[in-house]
Amino acid sequence: MPTTQQIENADTLTAPQALRLIAAVRASDRYRDYVAAYPDVEATIKAKINRKKTITGATNANPIVITATGHGFAADEVVTVQSVGGNTAANGSWLVSAVTTDTLTLLGAIGNASYTSGGQVLDLASQHLAAIVEALDEVGDGTVAVKGGRQGADYSQVRDREALIAEALDLLYSIDSGEGYAVVAVGQRGYADRICHEHGTTSCGCPRYVTC
């Protein structure tokens, strides 16, 4: 999979990236062999395009509730919050535990100051898919080079096309399948795990908790 830094540095999936990903998926052995397991693949990928909203508030509370008008996210999705000023504890990757039309509650986020300005909320899965597409674009002899990023870093990984496609399909269909947990692939909090939706923890041990 792409590194934590690659996904954190990615923006959300764009329309051109989505089209490239759809083409790559349809050409892959995994999709051809298990097409019934991936219904409506084109619509599923397109649903992740540009899932990013501007934040206008973040409560100094436990948990933090952010305001992003008409955000479109749902409970149990995983989001990245970035560039929030003042209440910087909101920044990171979080499981959404409750929503209204214009607000999201960030499970486990504890405020550390009053909100001042700025911020965006992004779909972590969409960021992950964008990083995969960039990796696919660079695949030649099996070496994936992802250059740049917000800190001007340069990362290189050994990957093959089928493994990247498999990762994209697993990401799309495990998160959206209603299995009772969300994949937290990476994030600024520095973990890779699955979170139980019933207990809000990565170590509750119930049948719905599955480690990566």
pLDDT tens per residue across span 106-153: 999 999 999 999 999 999 999 999 999 988 887 754 555 555 455 555
Domain 1-177 has CATH 1.10.10.410: no
Residue range 157-170: mean pLDDT, rounded: 82
The pLDDT score that the predictor gives to residue 3 is 73
Q: What is the pLDDT of residue 116?
A: 98
pLDDT of residue 177: 41
**How much is the mean pLDDT over the chain?**
79
The fraction of the chain above a pLDDT of 90, given in percent, is 60
Q: Rounded to an integer, what distance in angstroms lies between the CA atom of residue 156 and that of residue 70?
A: 37
Sorted by where each begins, the domain ranges of the chain are 1-177
Which of 105-114, 151-160, 161-170, 182-191 has the least mean pLDDT? 182-191
At 8 the pLDDT is 75
| Residue 76 tokens, joined | 């149990």
Nearest of 144, 201, 175 to residue 79 by alpha carbon: 175
pLDDT at 25 over 60: yes
Q: pLDDT at residue 187 above 80?
A: no
Q: Model confidence over 28-60: pLDDT tens digits?
A: 999 999 999 999 999 999 999 999 999 999 999
Q: Higher model confidence: residue 163 or residue 71?
A: 71
Other C-beta atoms lying within 10 Å of the C-beta of residue 63: 18
pLDDT value, residue 191:
35
pLDDT band at 188 (very low <50, low <70, confident <90, very high): very low
User: Does residue 1 surpass a pLDDT of 90?
Assistant: no
